[in-house]
Amino acid sequence: MFLTNTTGFLGGTEPEQAGIIKHGAKFIQAVTNCTVPKITIIVGGSYGAGNYAMAGRGMAPRFLFTWPRSVVSVMGSAQAGSVLRQVAEAKMARAGEINDEMRAAVDALERHR
């Protein structure tokens, strides 16, 4: 039985160099190869590869239940917003359309969420 509330695996240079991908893959492989019925209850968030490691839908559990306010997604909304912002800023910087005033305005909006 899996009680799931996972934000997924850490990303970035340090966790990757420390072997997070290798260790996460071992966890997913263990879940994939287990022969007993898998029962999953998602009680909070279930994001990214953590969803697979905790016997999410992709692992075809025998039963999968979700709490009323649970969330299943590739990544959290804050992380997705951060990624989209970085991509947009890089695109605007290449085109010469971004300045410090615009960046300060976006930072102020993010602080007031």
> What is the predicted pLDDT for the residue at 113?
59
The predicted model scores a pTM of 0.68
Instruction: Give residue limits of the domains in the chain.
Output: 2-74, 78-111
Burial bucket for residue 40 (CB in 10 Å: 0-12, 13-18, 19+): buried
Instruction: Find all residues with CB under 8 Å of 3, minimum gap 6, and list them.
Output: 41, 43
Per the model's pLDDT, the better-predicted residue between 102 and 14 turns out to be 14
> How far apart, in whole angstroms, are the C-alpha atoms of residue 90 and residue 32?
39
| pLDDT of 104 above 70 | yes
Per-residue pLDDT tens digits for 2-36: 999 987 776 667 877 787 788 888 988 999 999 99
